[in-house]
Amino acid sequence: MIMSFLPAPLRGVISLCAYFLNTLFWGAMLFAVALFKFIIPIASWRNFCSRILTRIAEYWIAFNNLNTFLINRIEWDVTGTEGLNRHGWYLVMSNHQSWVDILVLQKIFNRKIPFMKFFIKKELIWVPVLGLAWWALDFPFMKRYSKSFLKKNPHLEGKDLETTRRFCEKFKTMPVSIMNFVEGTRFSLEKHKKQESPYKHLLRPKAGGTAFVLQAMGNRLHQILDVTIVYPDGSRRFWHFVTGRIKKIMVRVRARPIDASLLGDYFNDPEYRERFQAWLNDLWTSKDLQITPMSGEHSNIAAAGNC
């Protein structure tokens, strides 16, 4: 940590400026390549552009990591990333406590697995700037019809999954990592109480989104990376991160196989849905037990206000 002599607020301002300038620099390059990718609809050309765009995103993460190294004195305690393959296909599942989680995941996985992407509702492709960035980086867009809509239009039953699968066809030859925060939202005491969560450190997992990814991606994915993130000193605000007040971050990664029992039609097969929910609840119980000794004297419940 080179800037430890500076006051924490000043370090935070410098770090934020560095994040902004880094994003501006690599973002400009990304949009330039994205434009060329968009205007020339030739598959081989677009695949070439996709590889360049992924490299740009990886360099953006690398310089963000350098920013973290220069500003923060964080003790990183990470296990389970050995033997990962940047040419593999992964589903990354993690607990979710703050926006810092995304920076943590990008740091520990950058260039060890393919650039992480997440499913986005198809309508969001029209969001200014971001929609083009997501499209350029080949984020998988999904189309989901509501139950009420399908009742009025039964002929569209299954079309949403079919549309998503067609979009995912490009991943036959392009390795991918799909990111999924299974709880669907960041942890807080209020949410924990409202859900009546049976877990001490976690919210209830949402099985539908995870099952949809597995169903849409089919046999493309090779492994599930089960990630547990803990901030043992209890602080996890983004401002605390950029000012160097987060002293230690612990991450445990477990590679889990994707066998036939995890694949099925979650929305139309009640037996499979029950089995999948039981599997995910068991996994979350194991994760909750794992967090307790990692947390030390500061439980995630006590620090929930820092989300």
Q: How does pLDDT run across 184-213, given as a tens digit for each residue?
A: 888 989 999 999 999 999 999 988 888 888
> Given a cut of 70, is residue 146 above it in pLDDT?
no
Confidence of residue 299 (pLDDT cuts 50, 70, 90): very low
Q: What is the mean pLDDT of the chain?
A: 85
Q: What is the pLDDT of residues 32-59, one digit of tens each?
A: 999 999 899 998 998 899 999 999 999 9
For residues 52 and 32, what is the distance between their CA atoms, to the nearest angstrom? 11
Is the CB of residue 89 less than 8 Å from the CB of residue 258? no
Q: What is the pLDDT of residues 10-32, one digit of tens each?
A: 888 999 999 999 999 999 999 99
| Res. 307: pLDDT tops 90 | no
Residue 287, phi then psi, degrees to nearest 5: -65, -40
Structure tokens at 74: 């964080």
Note the pLDDT of residue 7: 80
Q: Summarize pLDDT for 100-131 with one digit per residue, the tens.
A: 999 999 999 999 999 998 877 777 778 777 78
Q: What is the pTM of this model?
A: 0.85
| Runs of H (alpha helix) within 184-302 | 189-195, 207-217, 238-242, 270-295
Question: Cα–Cα distance between 3 and 288 in angstroms, integer?
Answer: 36
What is 74-306's CATH number? 3.40.1130
Please give the pLDDT value at position 212: 83
pLDDT of residue 305: 46
The model's confidence at residue 304, banded by pLDDT at 50, 70 and 90, is very low
| pLDDT above 90 as % of the chain | 49
Q: pLDDT tier at 298 (50, 70, 90 boundaries)?
A: very low
Judged against a pLDDT cut of 60, whether residue 254 lies above it is answered with yes
- Measured in degrees and rounded to the nearest 5, phi and psi for residue 296 equal 65, -135
Residue at 171: amino acid letter: F
DSSP conformational letter for 113: B
Q: In the chain, where are the structural domains located? A: 74-306
* Choice between 77 and 184, residue whose per-residue pLDDT is larger: 77
According to the model, what pLDDT value does residue 140 have? Answer: 79
**pLDDT (0 to 100) of residue 167:** 67
- Residues 218-244 pLDDT 10s: 678 889 999 999 999 887 889 989 888
Predicted local distance difference test score (pLDDT) of residue 1? 54
